[in-house]
């Protein structure tokens, strides 16, 4: 079941499109990365999904409910972290989260607040004024307000912005754990290398249009390369790899490692050849950042 559905969505400011005719969906329990340069249209799309911005054309729905027709019901179902978290800095962390739990109509506000504080590791600063917190802790408070009413859908705009490497790892582990419990997550971030273990699928947007949406593995092997390591390298294996349909280049790096480039996805054929020679490893040569830069460059 798709928990987020966007169909032919456009948002225009005067004669300028922020997003133009975009369509995508996110299934229940899925974590999808929403990637793009600054000004690509990510934040606009997320604001439309959260009901804080109206679309010019098209449709957006969350949990099967149209955002424009049932905004209150959607807000009960959805947790939203904007790029700049809406914090009241003259409140303590606990009082602010209690306020958020009540306006979001959490069933048991007190329990909801303590759960959010525990989830995002805010116990040591729960009594402090938000204005006295570091940027990293303020970001954690923003994430906690998105989680406080136990939403089924999370829309997170730069959730690890301002966090140190340890904090980023902890937050992404939290997001991954939530999704394993059937929470659906759409998140944008510029820390591409760190979301690879979290997101299996990404949507890449540029200049208001979606230019790619697929699994990271599939995107890495479109115009990319496959690296293999085998236990028994020999000339026959090298010849068999070069004979695979679609293979354009085979590089022998020595010690049983080969890099194979092709004009199509050749992983299955490469694996078939390599298994007989003692396949030890097969991987895409491109990481998410390489894929992102290549697609943006092509666009």
Give 1-54 pLDDT, tens digit per residue.
799 999 999 999 988 999 999 999 999 999 999 999 989 999 999 999 999 999
How many domains are contained in the chain?
2
Same domain for 292 and 175: no
Same domain for 284 and 211: no
Same domain for 231 and 116: no
pLDDT of 266-299, one tens digit each? 888 999 999 999 999 987 756 677 778 878 877 6
Using the 8-state DSSP alphabet, how is residue 160 labeled?
T
Same domain for 270 and 183: no
In the predicted model, what is the mean pLDDT of residues 252-267? 86
- The predicted structure's pLDDT at residue 243: 94
- How many angstroms separate the CA atoms of 109 and 81, rounded? 19
pLDDT of 80-93, one tens digit each? 999 888 899 999 99
Same domain for 173 and 55: yes
pLDDT band at 265 (very low <50, low <70, confident <90, very high): confident
- The predicted structure's pLDDT at residue 286: 63
Give the domain-ending residue among 178, 196, 217.
217
Decide if 159 contacts 139 (C-beta within 8 A): yes
Q: Quote the strand ranges of the chain, DSSP E.
A: 2-13, 16-27, 31-35, 57-62, 65-66, 78-81, 153-157, 184-188, 201-206, 209-215, 225-230, 247-254, 257-262, 279-284
State both tokens at 37.
Answer: 């340069």
Residue 21, judged by CB atoms within 10 A of its CB (0-12, 13-18, 19+), counts as middle
- The predicted structure's pLDDT at residue 221: 63
Task: Find tokens 């009960």 and name the residue.
Answer: 76
pLDDT of 210-236, one tens digit each? 999 998 877 876 656 788 999 999 999
Enter the pTM of the model: 0.80
- The predicted structure's pLDDT at residue 167: 84
- The predicted structure's pLDDT at residue 290: 74
Q: Can you give the CATH number for the domain in which 148 is found?
A: 3.40.50.300
Neighbouring-strand partners of residue 22:
9
pLDDT of 120-133, one tens digit each? 999 999 999 999 99
Residue 73 pLDDT > 60: yes
Give the domain-ending residue among 181, 197, 217.
217
pLDDT of 164-198, one tens digit each? 888 888 888 888 888 777 899 999 988 787 788 88
3-class DSSP state of 104? coil
Give the domain-ending residue among 172, 198, 217.
217
In the predicted model, what is the mean pLDDT of residues 242-262? 90
- The predicted structure's pLDDT at residue 271: 92
Domain membership of residue 262 as a residue range: 221-298
């Amino acid at each position: 079941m798709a928990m987020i559905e966007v169909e032919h969505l456009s948002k225009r400011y005067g004669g300028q499109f922020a997003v133009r005719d975009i369509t995508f969906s996110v299934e229940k329990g899925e974590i999808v990365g929403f990637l793009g340069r600054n000004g690509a249209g990510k934040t606009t799309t997320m604001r439309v999904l959260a009901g804080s911005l109206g679309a010019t054309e098209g449709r957006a729905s969350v949990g099967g409910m149209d955002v424009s027709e049932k905004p209150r019901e959607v807000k009960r179902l959805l947790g939203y972290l904007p790029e700049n978290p809406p914090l009241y800095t003259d409140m303590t962390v606990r009082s602010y989260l209690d306020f958020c739990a009540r306006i979001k109509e959490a069933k048991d506000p007190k329990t909801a607040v303590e759960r959010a504080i525990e989830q995002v590791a805010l116990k040591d600063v729960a009594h402090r004024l938000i204005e006295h917190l570091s940027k990293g802790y303020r970001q954690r408070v923003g994430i906690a307000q998105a989680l406080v009413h136990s939403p089924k859908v999370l829309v997170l705009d730069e959730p690890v912005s301002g966090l140190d490497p340890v904090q980023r790892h902890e937050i992404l582990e939290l997001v991954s754990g939530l999704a394993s419990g059937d929470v659906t997550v759409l998140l944008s971030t510029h820390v591409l290398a760190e979301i690879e273990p979290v997101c299996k699928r990404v949507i890449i947007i540029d200049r208001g249009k979606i230019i790619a949406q697929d699994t990271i593995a599939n995107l890495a092997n479109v115009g990319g390369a496959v690296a293999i390591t085998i236990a028994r390298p020999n000339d026959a294996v090298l010849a068999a790899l070069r004979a695979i349909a679609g293979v354009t280049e085979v590089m022998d790096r020595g010690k049983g490692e080969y890099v194979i480039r092709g004009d199509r996805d050749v992983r299955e054929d490469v694996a078939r050849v390599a298994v007989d020679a003692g396949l030890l490893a097969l991987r895409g040569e491109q990481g998410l950042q390489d894929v992102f830069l290549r697609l943006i460059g092509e666009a």
